[in-house]
Structure 1
Amino acid sequence: MSDRSPFLDLPGAVDLTGSGVPSHYGSPLAEQRALAEGGAIVDLSDRAVLTVQGPDRLSWLNSLTSQALTGLAPGESSETLLLDVTGRVEHAARVLDDGDTVWLLVDRPEAEGLLAWLTSMRFMLRVELADRTADLATIGTLGDPPLPIAAPNGVPLIWHDPWREVAPGGHQYARGEHPGAGWAWSERLVPRDALPSLVSRVTSGELAVAGTVAAEALRIAAWRPRFSTEVDERTIPHELDWLRTAVHLSKGCYRGQETVAKVHNLGHPPRRLVMLHLDGSEGVHPVTGASVTLDGQEVGAVTSAALHYELGPIALAVVKRSTDPSATLLVDADGTAVTAAQEIVVPPEAGAEAHVPRLPRLGAVTRASRA
């Protein structure tokens, strides 16, 4: 399999990250608009596709990960997280079952590690794992373009992002109207050898394209977390409002479940996701990892940043829970301090959903006892 996509042969195609797919085609803002209106496709052929086959596939994955998967119907989409014993996120997978096979769509850097860990956990169960990245490529879209969708078992392999609403068994910390309600993102698997024909259809004007920069800007505006950008070695799902779609709070036991339940019911996540509206007057924009400060103290870091075609410069950042949600923050952009207004995704009071009453301190005299 070549790491260089044939989409890079299109006029204006630029690969800014070395991922092998186009970041943009010369007009990122126009590409955003076309993508938002459902008229463009995004080449995501740098992403990986793993499969799990066998009669135990769904119950096995259900026992290992955060989402309830045993009742997943053919063609139904979900997502799930693999946590460590302390509840920190180790892997994330977009999940689709076709009645015979579970398809796991993951970012390429995590594919090898995830496949190796899953293989080590097979034991005597009837499951078979494989990496199908060499056979199938991922195409992203917010519309429904005519594509040669793979359907090896009679079910078209289209993963519809569940981010549009809170999944059964999930919980949303964000308050009020959620921008994810309009996020109609899907990822479609096509035969990898069909990519050159898709490029020809773009050249003829039959299909429109947008780069990954456009897709990232719209994702940020939807407050949609992504493993390869928002997750670090300390991340727990609550911090990113990922209980919304990737965690089932009342399913059976899985690794990390105790932390998930404890933080949600009794505690608060130590950090929280915010969307930042950045001052663009300086003409500079922060990059991933840029420091976020308040009153001279570092309170977090940018995880994703983009120039949105309507909102202007925006970013997702993870900050300390105690950070004043009404404060204007400063973001470092190559040595320039850029002011940033917060739009709250996860509020500081997130968690403690059990509302357990506080017991009197030992030795405290209550009004009832004095009476």
Structure 2
Amino acid sequence: MEPSAAPPFADQLRALREGAGALWLDDRAVITVRGDDRLTWLNGVVTADLRPIALGHGAYTAIVAVKGKMLADAFVHRTDDALLVVVPAEQRDALLAHFERFIVMEDVLLDATPERVLTVQGPKAVALTEGWPGRSIADRLGLGGVDVLVGEGHEAPSYGAVTPVSREAFDAESVAQSRPRWGVDFGIDNYVQEAAITPRAVSFQKGCYLGQEVVCRLQMRGHVQKQLVALTQAGKTPAAGAEVIAEGKVVGKVTSVTAGIEGEPAKLLAMVKYSTLEKRPALEIDGAPADWAQ
């Protein structure tokens, strides 16, 4: 059963950082993949290696077009008889159409299914959700976590010691942990490397997959033209869209920001030119100094 209200904002952030915080991901939808060939087929249309996934575990991945631009990011969860692909809700129909194009003779069935996704994130999330139906390991903030996939007509388990958090708090902690968000920090106009998710989302050892040639070429070249980076700014909280200035020139834009708490500086994600990232010059945003995050 879901609690009626979230605690104060600072307590929500503390739960995500030190305990476990839960949020319904109503901006995510599920594509279910069934059939005898589901694992080998899906492994050929996403960037991560899905083969090592154990039951009750998920893998973060990107889904890219033939020419390498991103179509979505996703978590793929493995159950006894299916793979559940949690994707941005606004992209689900386009992804279903995309996937259907690449089923030839494989025994694969795709379906848009009605599960809701309750994510529980934080260092105590795994321990506090032990035994919850539909639970699958999914670390969304880099602090440990799970997704709980709740079928239609089913209730989520009682939260117990898990703290309900708001979308605002969850997004703020995403920025604080340098975890970029689909549709905010990156999207369909970006390559995987521009989104700075390559270490988490891409396997360069698994073999062929759709869009691999472009992804590998960009990696071998060593860089893309622009890339998301983490910045900080003390004493000021700029708005998303603010220009990043270096050596008197505009070198990027802020994509998301969270105000610092308890004396911390504001934390930002910004898309900047790679040449600037290489040099790491002094930065300015809204007329005030900004720093490269460590």
Give me the TM-score of the superposition, normalised by structure 1.
Answer: 0.69
CA distance in 1, matches of 2:138, 2:129: 16
- Pairing 1:328–2:268 present: no
Gaps of 5+ in 2: none
Aligned AA (2:201): A
**Backbone CA RMSD of aligned residues:** 2.9
**Which of 230, 235, 257 does residue 305 from structure 1 map onto?**
257
Residue 139 (structure 2) aligns with: 161
CA distance in 1, matches of 2:289, 2:4: 37
Aligned AA (1:190): V
**Which of 119, 122, 125 does residue 139 from structure 1 map onto?**
119
**Residues 290 and 110 (structure 1 numbering): CA distance in 2 closer, same or farther, change over 3 Å?**
farther
CA distance in 1, matches of 2:191, 2:182: 11
> Where is the strand percentage greater, Structure 1 or Structure 2?
2
CA distance in 1, matches of 2:23, 2:154: 15
1:298 Cα offset (Å)? 2.0
Paired residues of 2:25 and 2:116 also in contact (CA < 8 A): no
**Residues 245 and 268 (structure 1 numbering): CA distance in 2 closer, same or farther, change over 3 Å?**
same
1:206 Cα offset (Å)? 6.0
Residue 361 (structure 1) aligns with: none
Paired residues of 1:147 and 1:190 also in contact (CA < 8 A): no
Give me the TM-score of the superposition, normalised by structure 2.
Answer: 0.85
Residue 266 (structure 1) aligns with: 221
Paired residues of 1:249 and 1:261 also in contact (CA < 8 A): yes
**Which of 71, 78, 85 does residue 59 from structure 2 map onto?**
78
CA distance in 1, matches of 2:82, 2:118: 17
1:277 Cα offset (Å)? 0.7
Paired residues of 1:77 and 1:159 also in contact (CA < 8 A): yes
- Pairing 1:214–2:145 present: no
CA distance in 2, matches of 1:117, 1:88: 13
**Residues 326 and 206 (structure 1 numbering): CA distance in 2 closer, same or farther, change over 3 Å?**
closer
Residue 190 (structure 1) aligns with: 150
Gaps of 5+ in 1: 1-5, 12-24, 151-155, 164-179, 345-371
**Once the two structures are superposed, what CA deviation does each residue of 1:62-90 show, in whole Å capped at 9, x if it has no partner?**
11221222343322321222222332222
CA distance in 2, matches of 1:113, 1:159: 26
Number of matched pairs: 289
**Residues 41 and 286 (structure 1 numbering): CA distance in 2 closer, same or farther, change over 3 Å?**
same
CA distance in 2, matches of 1:213, 1:92: 20
**Once the two structures are superposed, what CA deviation does each residue of 1:285-315 show, in whole Å capped at 9, x if it has no partner?**
312x333222442211222211243534111
Residue 14 (structure 2) aligns with: 33
CA distance in 2, matches of 1:212, 1:307: 15
CA distance in 2, matches of 1:86, 1:206: 46
CA distance in 2, matches of 1:290, 1:112: 33
**Which of 87, 90, 100 does residue 119 from structure 1 map onto?**
100
Give the alignment of 1:1-371 within 5 angstroms: 10-11=4-5, 25=6, 27-132=8-113, 134-142=114-122, 143-144=125-126, 145-146=128-129, 149-150=132-133, 156-161=134-139, 180=142, 183-191=143-151, 193-194=153-154, 207-281=162-236, 284-287=237-240, 289-309=241-261, 311-323=264-276, 325-332=279-286, 337-343=287-293
Residue 227 of structure 1 aligns to a residue whose secondary structure is: coil
Residue 251 of structure 2 aligns to a residue whose secondary structure is: strand
CA distance in 2, matches of 1:54, 1:109: 25
Aligned AA (1:328): A
CA distance in 2, matches of 1:39, 1:162: 12
Residue 230 of structure 1 aligns to a residue whose secondary structure is: coil
Structure 1 stretches of 4+ with a deviation exceeding 6 A read: none
Aligned AA (2:284): L
**Residues 76 and 209 (structure 1 numbering): CA distance in 2 closer, same or farther, change over 3 Å?**
closer
Residue 239 of structure 1 aligns to a residue whose secondary structure is: coil
Identity across aligned pairs (percent)? 28
Paired residues of 2:24 and 2:116 also in contact (CA < 8 A): no
Compare 305-314 and 109-118 and name the one that shifted more.
Answer: 305-314
1:338 Cα offset (Å)? 4.3
Highest CA radius of gyration, 1 or 2? 1
CA distance in 2, matches of 1:264, 1:236: 11
Aligned AA (2:146): S
